[in-house]
Amino acid sequence: MEHRLSTTTLSTLSTLTSITFFNCHIPIIHFPSSLTTNLHSFTSINSLQRLTGVFLSHFHNLNHLYISGDPIKASGIHIITSNMKSLKTITLYNTHLTGYLPKDWNPKLIHIDFSKNKLKGSIPTSLTLLKNLNVLNFSSNNLIGVLPNSLGALTSLKILSLSSNSLSGPIPGSISSISGLVHLDLGSNQFNGVIPEFISEMKELKYLNLENNKFHGVLPFNASFIKKLDVFKINGNFDLCYKHSISLEELHLGIARCDKHGMPILPPPAMNTPSSSWVDVGGGGDENGGDDDVVEKNNQVHVNRGPNKVVLGVAIALSAMVFIIIFLVLLFIC
């Protein structure tokens, strides 16, 4: 499609039911009412400039709305969607959207993706009324609060992605009711509590990201469950540990091993003294300089620093001066 559009041109396309703009970089223009009425699918990827919520709200009969990389000026998502009674899928990705999540949702929705925006507030419980929802992606926003206990009512859900927010609290037990869940991403939040065992019983799960949270206790997964996943991320939970087994050791999970009390075994603290320092063996280059003696012991490195060079120089100079004075005295006596 050309980079110049006019209302006249669009009038000739009034029978279209689907329109896509891809890398066009053009300003929005007035769409004829006949076209806005007939369109069932509207897509803009890195294309339309100066998009507004009011402009998008004119497309009353859309089934599919997909905007990616085009900033949208709107006071909230409800401005865009409130009149779209037939909407089934909506993606507003990286559109600089602000405000709160809507409290009213179209019950026909099966796909919601509002990722990489600036949305704030908590996840409304009204969202859990969408019984046919397959995809829910609110990742990379500024959401806070706990997950609704009724989240498990979304029994048709396949993908749940809430990463990179500030969500907190435990993982709701009701999620165990979402038996067909394939993708669960809760990484980089502030979730806490113990990781529920029911996650290991989710037969369809292939992607599990729980990294960079505040989970504690013993990891409830065995090696066979982890190995059946395509992606598993758990590092960055510093109060979480796993029960020692050779099979789990081989997976390099990124968390500590548990002691007999179920607490993480912490690495030994660094030992610092004025004349020496201890560092873990890391396999890196020589950072100690050419004048230091390095001694390996018990998988650690002990660096012998030796005497201070300035003090040594002063001592040599003083010794030389004393020697010269004694020499001159003896020469005078002779």
Domain boundaries, the chain: 17-97
pLDDT tops 60 at residue 283: no
| Average pLDDT of the segment spanning 228-250 | 92
Local confidence band at 138 (pLDDT 50, 70, 90 cut-offs): very high
| 259-269 residue pLDDT tens | 888 899 877 55
**Predicted pLDDT at 312:** 64
pTM above 0.85?
no
If pLDDT is split at 50, 70 and 90, which confidence band does 29 have?
Answer: confident
- Lowest pLDDT segment from 34-38, 188-192, 324-328: 324-328
Q: Which of these ranges, 203-217, 249-263, 292-306, 317-331, has the smallest mean pLDDT? A: 292-306
66: which strand partners? 43, 91
Residue 85 has pLDDT above 90, yes or no: yes
Cβ-contact 315, 307 below 8 angstroms: no
- The pLDDT value given to residue 268: 57
Its sign, for the CA torsion 69, 73, 76, 79, is negative
Q: Which residues partner with 73 through β-bridges?
A: 52
Residue 80 tokens read as: 């865009």
More confident residue, 181 or 9: 181
- The predicted pLDDT at position 280 comes to 36
CB of 222 closer than 8 Å to CB of 246: no
Residues 327/319, Cβ–Cβ less than 8 Å? no
Question: Could you tell me the pLDDT band of residue 41, with boundaries at 50, 70 and 90?
Answer: very high
Q: How confident is the model at residue 294 (pLDDT cuts 50, 70, 90)?
A: very low
Instruction: Please enumerate in sequence order all residues whose Cβ is within 8 A of that of 159, keeping only pairs 6 or more positions apart, or say none.
Output: 134, 135, 136, 137, 181, 182, 183
pLDDT given at position 292: 41
Amino acid at 113: D
Better-scored residue on pLDDT, 313 or 306? 313
Least confident window among 145-149, 184-188, 272-276, 318-322? 272-276
- Cβ pair 282, 269 in contact under 8 A: no
In percent, how much of the chain has pLDDT > 90?
61
